[in-house]
């Protein structure tokens, strides 16, 4: 509330003892009312009035709100003004001094709020005294004109923008989108956008990176690493020191990268309600649609689905061919997850349901995949339909028109007519013949590289792309444990490398080695044959699948039998073969002899 510099003749009102200055600027570039100039005027005004009234007009501070619009920003969202109001409320200051009244508020309603709070205001350039009814009325009149001026400025700005938009390829103003640069329009009236080749190259780089499987985070890191490089100055974003996830997502999925102009958050359309593209696109629409699908923020599902494991949907029961599902079983020490055939539980018939320990079979399949295909390039095979020119744009226009019909106050009859016309245009374009085209896309990454960077779903997709069918799991008897390689044979697209001759001997010991299982050397040391070594290896692999502290009876029996065999008891060999269900011939064993 404004207070005059002189005490009114009809009152006993004294000047304020303590005052606080307030500075506001909508844009830092406004030189005529710069913060420094406002501060200087406030300090000079207070100093002059302090000389005229000793003991009063003590300037206790100057608060400011820079880059803050009085029209668009509510009173409570202006930090500097909030501090001023708090000082007046707690008695730290008696009045606020500002350069002009419109620095404090441009709305009659806003100023009414401040009046009700008891805020006294001193204007440096306007003679106002809000301690009297006439002074308050004068302030409100001035604010009406200030609000009118603000509205007039807004109308002029909107009219200018509307004119530029109506001219098609003229830039309406504001921040230039990344990938483009401003240039004078060929007609000489206004400006237009053209592609900035260095920036457009980085947009293309980011799009290709994400579409090939690289995460948004890794792509952002790559762009930020290039910032500051002498060979890549264009990698720097326009209005920030570095790229963020949201800023790069906005560039790659927004309308600007398609050469479109937006107004009120929606792309500008032509007279046929088709989205206009006044400038050349940095990315094609098909790529932007794929980027939107991939980068769309994930919505939390209403009911969280249990996370699937690596081989979910990949393993089948060799007996009945049904998909195997993950289930858990309790042991004495922990919970173990298994892939199991659930055909019988689902009301189907399976004579010998298969089950296998999840961790073990996943580790084996992963190891085998990387051995077979780790160095191969990941090729994405896509079948696409060649779109008739303009079909994608018409379909997008239909989508936007349908969305507009759901908005409050929508002109339904007009939008319905537009939708009908667009549907007819789409049907006409869709009737044109389109042939499916298979496209192979080299991602530039190997299976090993994609595996290293991938999550569970992405790794499962790699496995499925390397297979020619499902992986069948052979059942074994209850209580028997063998390595997964004895039970699964993944049908890889590539041939598995041939084993060496030495490995082949170990792989078929029942045929290639009929020597005694255990003998003794001259120094009385035990010597195990190739067949015996193979049996020991199978037993150790089976035990490696179990917990060290397991008290399962089968596990304890396997450990005890293996220990007996290692101590020189050949008779334990047949029991090991029975426990592990090994296909190996074992002659009647004899005690090891030198």
For 10-61, give the secondary structure using H, E and C.
CCCCCCCCEEEEEEEECCCCCCCCCHHHHHHHHHHHHHHHHHHCCCCCEEEE
pLDDT of residue 314: 92
pLDDT of residue 148: 64
Residue 304 carries which DSSP code?
Answer: P
DSSP string across 508-522: -HHHH--S-SEEE-T
Closest CA to 157 of 330, 340, 27: 27
pLDDT of residue 539: 79
Token pair belonging to 102: 């419109």
Task: Specify the 3-state DSSP secondary structure of 95.
Answer: strand
DSSP string across 308-346: P-TTTTTEEETTT-PBEEEEEEE-SS-EEEEEEE-TTTT
Closest CA to 382 of 173, 211, 560, 130: 211
What residues pair up with 519 in beta bridges, in sequence order? 527
Angstrom distance (rounded) from CA 9 to CA 450: 86
Angstrom distance (rounded) from CA 491 to CA 493: 7
Give exposure, 240-254, as e/b (b: 16+ Cβ within 10 Å).
Answer: eeebeeebbbebbbb
Work out the number of other CB atoms within 10 angstroms of the CB of residue 461.
Answer: 14
Give exposure, 565-583, as e/b (b: 16+ Cβ within 10 Å).
Answer: beeebbebbbbbbebbebe
The set of residues, in sequence order, having a beta carbon less than 8 Å from that of 371 and lying 6+ positions away, is 496, 497
Q: Whole-prediction pTM value?
A: 0.36
DSSP string across 462-485: HHHHHBSSPEEE----TT----GG
Task: Specify the 3-state DSSP secondary structure of 116.
Answer: helix
CA 196 to chain CA centroid, nearest Å: 27
Per-residue pLDDT of the chain (594 residues; tens, 9 = 90+): 444 333 343 444 567 889 999 999 887 654 556 888 899 999 999 999 888 888 888 999 999 998 888 877 888 889 999 999 999 989 899 889 998 878 888 776 677 778 767 788 888 887 765 655 666 676 667 666 656 655 665 565 555 555 555 555 666 666 788 888 888 877 666 788 888 888 888 889 889 988 888 888 888 888 888 876 655 566 778 878 788 888 888 889 888 888 787 765 566 666 565 666 677 888 988 888 888 888 876 544 444 445 578 998 899 999 899 999 988 876 666 778 889 998 877 778 888 888 888 888 999 999 999 988 888 888 776 655 555 556 667 777 777 777 777 777 778 788 778 878 887 877 776 666 555 556 666 667 788 888 988 888 889 989 998 998 899 998 875 545 667 887 898 999 887 665 444 344 334 444 445 667 777 766 667 777 777 777 887 777 777 766 667 777 777 888 888 888 888 888 888 888 777 777 666 765 544 443
Please state the φ and ψ torsions of residue 473, each to the nearest 5 degrees. Answer: -110, 120
Contact assessment for residue 504 and residue 515, using Cβ atoms and an 8 Å cutoff: no
Beta strands in 56-146 (DSSP E): 58-66, 95-98, 121-123
Work out the number of other CB atoms within 10 angstroms of the CB of residue 112.
Answer: 14
């Amino acid at each position: 509330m404004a207070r005059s510099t002189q005490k009114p003749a009809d009152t006993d009102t004294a000047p304020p003892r303590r005052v606080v200055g307030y500075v506001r600027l909508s844009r830092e570039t406004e030189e005529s009312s710069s913060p420094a100039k406002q501060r200087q005027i406030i300090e000079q005004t207070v100093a002059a009035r302090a000389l005229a009234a000793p003991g009063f007009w003590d300037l206790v501070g100057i608060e400011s709100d820079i880059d803050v619009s009085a029209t668009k920003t509510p009173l409570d969202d202006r930090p500097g003004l909030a501090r001023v109001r708090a000082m007046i409320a707690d008695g730290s200051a008696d009045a606020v001094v500002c350069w002009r009244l419109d620095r404090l508020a441009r709305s009659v309603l806003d100023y009414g709020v401040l009046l009700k709070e008891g805020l006294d205001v001193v204007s440096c350039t306007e003679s106002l005294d809000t301690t009297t009814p006439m002074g308050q009325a004068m302030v409100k009149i001035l604010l009406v004109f200030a609000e009118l001026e603000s509205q007039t400025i807004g109308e002029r700005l909107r009219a200018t923008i509307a004119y530029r938009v109506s001219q098609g390829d003229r830039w309406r103003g504001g921040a230039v989108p990344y990938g483009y640069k401003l240039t004078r329009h060929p007609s000489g009236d206004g400006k237009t956008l053209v592609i900035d080749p260095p920036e457009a190259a980085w947009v293309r780089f980011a799009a290709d990176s994400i579409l090939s499987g690289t995460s948004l985070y890794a792509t952002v890191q790559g762009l930020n690493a290039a910032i500051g490089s002498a060979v890549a100055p264009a990698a720097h974003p326009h209005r920030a020191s570095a790229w963020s996830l949201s800023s790069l997502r906005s560039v790659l999925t927004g309308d600007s990268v398609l050469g479109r102009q937006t107004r009120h958050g929606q792309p500008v359309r032509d007279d046929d309600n088709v989205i206009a593209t006044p400038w050349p696109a940095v990315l094609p629409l098909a790529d932007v649609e794929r980027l939107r699908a991939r980068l769309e923020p994930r919505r939390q599902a209403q009911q969280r689905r249990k996370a699937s494991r690596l081989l979910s949907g990949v393993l089948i029961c060799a007996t009945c061919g049904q998909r195997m599902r993950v289930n858990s079983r309790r042991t004495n020490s922990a919970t173990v997850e298994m892939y199991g055939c659930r055909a019988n539980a689902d009301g189907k018939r399976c004579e010998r349901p298969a089950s296998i320990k999840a961790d073990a079979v996943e580790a084996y399949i992963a190891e085998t995949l990387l051995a077979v295909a780790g160095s191969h390039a990941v090729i994405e095979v896509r079948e696409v339909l060649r779109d008739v020119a303009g079909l994608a744009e018409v379909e997008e226009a239909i989508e936007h028109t349908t969305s507009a019909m759901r908005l409050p106050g929508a002109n339904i009859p007009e939008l319905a007519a537009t939708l009908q016309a667009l549907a007819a245009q789409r049907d006409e374009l869709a009737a044109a013949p389109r042939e499916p085209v298979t496209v192979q896309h080299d991602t530039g990454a190997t299976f090993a590289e994609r595996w290293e960077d991938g999550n569970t779903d992405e790794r499962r997709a790699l496995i499925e792309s390397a297979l020619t069918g499902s992986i069948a799991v052979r059942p074994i008897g209850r209580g028997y444990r063998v390595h997964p390689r004895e039970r699964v044979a993944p049908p890889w697209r590539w041939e598995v490398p041939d084993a060496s001759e030495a490995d082949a001997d170990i792989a078929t010991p029942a045929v290639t080695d009929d020597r005694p299982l255990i003998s003794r050397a001259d120094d009385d040391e035990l010597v195990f044959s190739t067949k015996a070594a193979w049996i020991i290896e199978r037993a150790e692999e089976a035990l490696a699948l179990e917990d060290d502290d397991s008290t399962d009876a089968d596990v304890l029996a396997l450990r005890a039998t293996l220990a007996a065999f290692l101590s020189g008891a050949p008779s334990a060999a047949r029991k090991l073969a029975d426990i592990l269900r090994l296909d190996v011939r074992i002659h009647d064993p004899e005690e090891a002899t030198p």
